[in-house]
Amino acid sequence: MEQSAIDWAEAKAKSLAVAEYTVVEHHLDEMQARFSDNSLSVVNRLLTTELGVYLAKGRKRVLGSLSSTGRRSVEEFVEKLFASMNSTSAESDFAPLPAGGAGYSHNGDADASLDPFDQAACAKSAIQAALSAGASRVAGSLTARRTLVVQRTSAGLQGSDERTSYLLNVRAFADKDASGHGVSVATRLRDLETEQAGRRAGEWAKKSRNPRQPEEGVYSVIFGRTVAADLFQHVGRSASAFAMETGLSFLPEKSGERAGSDRLTVKDHGQIEGGPDSRSFDDEGRATSTTVILDGGQMARHLHNSTTAAKHGAEPTGNAGIISPRPWNIEVVPGSSDIEEMVRETKRGIFVTNNWYTRFQSYKTGEYSTLPRDAAFYIEGGRIGHPVAGFRISDSIPRQLGAVTLLGRERSWIEWWEVSTPVLQPDMLVDGVRITRAAT
């Protein structure tokens, strides 16, 4: 059998007599079509292999990634890592890698290959759907990705995990101030909804013509799925034990403390049907699993790797990151409502379909602001009114988590430019949201 980077890296790690190692190859085959002004603007193709190496000895550790995969480069790189490890002092936070187990179970959620995928034709389909729905100008990107992760550890664990994902992001314009956004996220080509995403973007664009600027104040706000997903990706990141240790988490430090409305249950899934970031094992070689982060509004568990778990007396959750545990795929458990009911229940509010540029005054307190973009609508007396634009949500995520009054029963996977951690998300009604706007 032909040897590759992972073999040479493993052999070199063994020859250096390190106490622990992981070696991993990440293979990527990615096709992307980007479009703007109803036309393709560029087609991209990436074919790359990257080697990841982790070494440990005597409470000293080091991490590395290398994209040159020739034997000499790999061996020199591992030697460099070894020397670097020895140049540092021992760490107080340290836990050994997990020992061998029963192996890994892949949930089978992937296409066999990207072969039937025609990026240009799919992009054209999305553009046409948006134009037919009333848009005059359409932009977006369509990405198809096949990943193969092959990993071995000094504890005898070895795994191989192959996935496919398809991400479509469409933005349609009906005029300069009227735009709509559509997303489709799938792990199988058959589930990619190109026309639906394009149509949705076009319809929102058409409905959002001639927006008015709302008054500053406190409103009930319907967070469309894309907006709510942005909120909950930050919940997922805040659940990392590393974030908690470094003041970058707005979630409670202790399990059982209240973190939000009792309507909210939030989970992280290492593997879930339709979850584009699924993996059967984490960076330490531990099998991934499902972790409940918020359970009926109470802090349930943080996300841990071996080191953070040992430090906090918790069980690892299969979310390593050697340094920082990370969420894989976030799920917000659905409610029983829908947009129509949320509108009916709103006396004075705003429906926001998309947002961007979320920034925090403090990750610890969760004080933040974000800018709605694309279609948004004023709601008065339980009815949707005129389109609105030119305002900002200026609030606190912990406060909003406590003010969720309705959750939709329908959900979509959301991942796009602003939401990089995938979230399975329903629509959501939040009371008492502060809206501000710029001085002119």
Q: Does 43 bind another protein (CB under 8 A)?
A: yes
User: By three-state DSSP, how is residue 342 classified?
Assistant: helix
Q: Does 132 bind another protein (CB under 8 A)?
A: no
Residue selected from 61, 146, 286, 411 as contacting another protein according to rule CB under 8 A: 61
Residue selected from 6, 13, 135, 139 as contacting another protein according to rule CB under 8 A: 139
Q: Does 48 bind another protein (CB under 8 A)?
A: yes
Looking at residues 179 to 218 of the shown chain, list those that interact with another protein (rule: CB under 8 A). Answer: 181
Residue selected from 21, 173, 351, 378 as contacting another protein according to rule CB under 8 A: 173
With contact defined as beta carbons under 8 Å apart, do 199 and 132 qualify? yes
Q: Does 3 bind another protein (CB under 8 A)?
A: no
- Angstrom CA distances, 336 to 36, 200, 224, stand at 38, 23, 15
The H or E element spanning position 201 is: helix 194-207
Q: Does 125 bind another protein (CB under 8 A)?
A: no
Residue 33 structure tokens? 């079509």
CA distance 255 to 243: 15
Residue among 140 and 276 whose Cβ is closer to another protein: 140
Q: Does 254 bind another protein (CB under 8 A)?
A: no
Stretch that binds another protein, among 147-155, 164-172, 192-200, 268-276 (CB under 8 A): 164-172
Q: Does 93 bind another protein (CB under 8 A)?
A: yes
Residue selected from 170, 231, 266, 342 as contacting another protein according to rule CB under 8 A: 170
Residue among 151 and 370 whose Cβ is closer to another protein: 370
Residue among 84 and 290 whose Cβ is closer to another protein: 84
With contact defined as beta carbons under 8 Å apart, do 22 and 97 qualify? yes
The set of residues, in sequence order, having a beta carbon less than 8 Å from that of 125 and lying 6+ positions away, is 194, 195, 198
User: By three-state DSSP, how is residue 208 classified?
Assistant: coil
- In whole angstroms, how close is the CB of 335 to another protein at the nearest point? 29
Q: Does 80 bind another protein (CB under 8 A)?
A: yes
Residue among 88 and 255 whose Cβ is closer to another protein: 88
Q: Does 336 bind another protein (CB under 8 A)?
A: no
Question: What's the first-to-final CA gap in the chain, in angstroms?
Answer: 69
With contact defined as beta carbons under 8 Å apart, do 348 and 368 qualify? no
Q: Does 33 bind another protein (CB under 8 A)?
A: yes
Q: 5-15 vs 71-86: helix axis angle to the nearest 10?
A: 40
CA distance 416 to 186: 12
Residue 18 structure tokens? 């390190």
User: By three-state DSSP, how is residue 437 classified?
Assistant: coil
φ, ψ of residue 336 to 5 degrees: the values are -125, 10
Residue 323 structure tokens? 């340094």
Residue selected from 15, 41, 132, 336 as contacting another protein according to rule CB under 8 A: 41
The H or E element spanning position 55 is: strand 39-57
With contact defined as beta carbons under 8 Å apart, do 131 and 202 qualify? yes
The set of residues, in sequence order, having a beta carbon less than 8 Å from that of 105 and lying 6+ positions away, is 280, 287
The set of residues, in sequence order, having a beta carbon less than 8 Å from that of 338 and lying 6+ positions away, is 408, 409, 410, 427
Q: Does 390 bind another protein (CB under 8 A)?
A: yes
Residue selected from 72, 108, 313, 440 as contacting another protein according to rule CB under 8 A: 440
Residue selected from 253, 361, 381, 409 as contacting another protein according to rule CB under 8 A: 361
- In whole angstroms, how close is the CB of 108 to another protein at the nearest point? 27
Residue among 17 and 47 whose Cβ is closer to another protein: 47
Residue among 45 and 254 whose Cβ is closer to another protein: 45
Looking at residues 94 to 123 of the shown chain, list those that interact with another protein (rule: CB under 8 A). Answer: 119-120, 123
Residue among 38 and 290 whose Cβ is closer to another protein: 38
Q: Does 130 bind another protein (CB under 8 A)?
A: no
Residue among 42 and 112 whose Cβ is closer to another protein: 42
Q: Does 245 bind another protein (CB under 8 A)?
A: yes
Looking at residues 311 to 330 of the shown chain, list those that interact with another protein (rule: CB under 8 A). Answer: 322-323
Residue selected from 6, 13, 23, 81 as contacting another protein according to rule CB under 8 A: 81
Residue among 37 and 215 whose Cβ is closer to another protein: 37
Q: Does 15 bind another protein (CB under 8 A)?
A: no
Q: What is the DSSP string of 146-159?
A: EEEEEEEETTS-EE
| E-only strand ranges, 6-136 | 20-36, 39-57, 60-66
